[in-house]
A and B are shown apart, each in its own frame.
Chain A
Amino acid sequence: MKGESKAKRYRRSVWREFWKQRSLQIFVLAGIVYILIFNYIPMFGLVIGFKDYKITSGIAGMISSPWVGFKHFVEFFADYKFVELMRNTLVLSILKLICSFPIPIIFAIMLNEVRHEGTKKFIQTISYLPYFISWVIVAGLLRIIASDSGIINDILMRAGLIAAPLEFLTSPRFFYGLCILTAIWKDTGWWTIIFLAAITGVDPTMYEAASIDGATRIQKMKYITFPSIAGTVTVVLILALGNLLGGGLSGSNFEQSYLLGNAGNREVADIIQTYVMRIGLSQGRYSYATAVGMLQSVISVMLVYSSNFISKKVSGDGLF
């Protein structure tokens, strides 16, 4: 009896406190309502992957449309595009991660060896310019650099390495290479910032001690610099693995597939994300596209947890 009144009193004091800070509460609640609409409603909307949804039914249709269980998932597994899409998504993601992940680390360690502060800052500033450039511009630049009459083909032909221009932009053979190189070009400078910041945090007395012991610069890089930033590398690697299917660090798979893909290289360029857009928005198969997209999200969540688990086992720490 007494306890109940105490709880009641507590509840009343919470609401009194709430009322006292009502203007601050309004600040925050405006954000809560906004996020509820723009993030939580679409999250709830995932249920249409298990339903037969019709676009004319609007948001209410997410609730009222009939359940069909795993029908759309089964249909996707049976689709003739399934193997190709899965393969392309995985190959593009994994190749890009393996090839582009080490580059900013190496570049940061090398940049740290540039002794002149002004030069270092200048090079770094130039190196992350591409990060701020839209993928549309990247695709446009490729059209003047890698086209038949572009500079790369011209150099290769003048050097006598090829007889006819290579079709970098339209042949399936070159698509993944194109994606890897543009991803490296665009993101290296940006991710170097975080690794360089970690390197700057290394205690300089460690280098001095190593110099006294007669360590060479390469030895110092290997035994001091790299181990000191290993923690940062792990964190960034887990983040990249979590977004592996989106395209790793900066999640560029969709942009690359959509903007660098064309009739010539479609067989290797088509990935789950572009497929979802095409069947969902162009063909209007909303439930099916939602189910296909959900499959990618489920794989991604599993990747985050397993990479975190592995990181915990191997290095003793993870993100969560």
Chain B
Amino acid sequence: MKAEGKKKKKSMQDNVLDAAIVAVMILVVFSCLYPFLLAVIMSFNEGIDALKGGIYFWPRKLTFENYGSLFKDPVWGNAFLVTLARTVIGTTMTVFFTLFVSYGLSHKDLVFRKFYFSFFIFAMYFSGGVIPYYILLRSLHLLNKFWVYVVPGCLSLFYILVATSFFQGIPEEIAESAKLDGAGELKIFRSLILPLSKPIMATIAIFTSVGHWNNWYDSAFFATSNKGIRTMAYLMTAIINQSSTQNSAADAAMAAGVRTTTTLSIQLAAMVIAVLPILCVYPFFQRYFVTGLTVGAVKS
């Protein structure tokens, strides 16, 4: 009798707990997805009409004009190409340079190995800050050039540590036997080690490419005077930073004309385009995040 009462109380508590968990999970899923959904909906709505508000679940005045204006605008088109180019070139450089250095570092009998490690780890924890860095970029004549996006940062200290421990897991006999056959280190690296490194390559590539795709910082501060190499993310900051009065003035001018788009509605279309690749790709790389994160936490 007593035991039964206790059991009933427990299941009551369990029910409350389950209800709370379900509520939290729904809240999380909704809050993570709805803002994107709303951006998609509003990007398909006439811009001027959208300013009135009240669009939450479907477009009120369906139009493709926002996307049309976006694709026709040479500034956005150029920014798209620049962003794509820096993502592809930058990621490729980082992946190969990082693996290249890590492969050398993974040899336990490497002379000065301890010193090399300390050298890299020290650089990971201490930095000179942004102003000396800017001076360096200026002295290297990288400012306002496309290369300022991909050359700095094409070697990732953090992934050197991750990749070195990955390479140490590859049996040494593989390289040894190739060496007996007279293969040079570069050949071993290219034809034996790289094919085995797909998981680590994927990890580095995902994080680096997302970083490049989203980057607005270097475009805003290190390429200020070159309009030809602005990235998509930077163009969006330029619109966000415009005061609302400026926007309204521009929008009023549009309202007087025949166009139904606004700076905001075109920006929404651009946002959807910018988020789309990430949205499509990221769910497939879950296992790499977990390895990257846990290895990172252990190392640091």
Q: A24-B107, A46-B128 are in contact. Are A113 and B53 (CB under 8 A)?
A: no
* Contact (Cβ within 8 A) A31 B97: yes
Contact B132 A46 (CB under 8 A): yes
**Residue A30, interface by CB 8 Å:** yes
A43-B293 in contact given A149-B51, A276-B131 (Cβ < 8 Å): no
In the assembly, what is the distance between CA of A310 and CA of B170, in Å? Answer: 40
Asked whether, in the complex, the Cβ of B297 is within 8 Å of the Cβ of A194, the reply is: yes
Q: How many A-B residue pairs have CB under 8 A?
A: 259
Query: Is A269 in the interface zone, CB < 8 Å from B?
Result: no
> Is residue B147 contacting chain A, with contact meaning CB distance below 8 A?
no
- Which residues on B sit within 8 Å (CB–CB) of A44? 128, 132
Beyond A123-B29, A149-B51, A277-B130, whether A24 also contacts B233 by CB under 8 A is no
A21: B residues at CB distance < 8 A: 107, 109-111
Roughly how many angstroms separate A127 CA and B32 CA in the complex, as a whole number?
6
With a cutoff of 8 Å between Cβ atoms, the chain A residues found around residue B216 in the complex are 134, 136
Let me know if B129 and A129 touch, CB within 8 A.
no
A189→B103 contact, CB < 8 A = no
Query: Residues 112-146 of chain B: 1 if any A CB is under 8 Å from the residue's CB, otherwise 0?
Result: 10001001100100111111111110111000000
A126 touches B33 (CB 8 A): yes
Tell me if A105 counts as interface (CB < 8 A to partner B). Answer: no
Q: Point out the residues of chain A lying under 8 angstroms from B275, CB to CB.
A: 133, 137
Q: Does B243 contact A (CB under 8 A)?
A: yes
Binding site for A on B (CB under 8 A): 6, 10, 13-14, 17-18, 20-21, 24-25, 28-29, 31-33, 35-36, 38-39, 42, 51-54, 56, 97, 100-101, 103-105, 107, 109-112, 116, 119-120, 123, 126-136, 138-140, 152-155, 157, 160, 184-186, 189, 210, 213-216, 221, 233-234, 236-237, 240-241, 243-244, 264, 267-268, 271, 274-275, 278-279, 282-283, 286, 289-290, 293-294, 297, 300
Which 5 pairs show the lowest CB-CB distances between chains A and B? A45-B132, A149-B53, A27-B104, A42-B128, A31-B101
Where the two chains meet, the residues of A that have a C-beta atom closer than 8 Å to any C-beta of B are 14, 17-18, 21, 23-28, 30-32, 34-35, 37-46, 48, 53, 55, 58-59, 62, 107, 110-111, 113-114, 121, 123, 125-130, 132-134, 136-137, 139-141, 143-145, 147-151, 154, 170, 185, 188-190, 193-194, 197, 214, 216-218, 232, 235-236, 239, 258-259, 262-263, 276-277, 280-281, 286, 289-290, 293-294, 297, 319
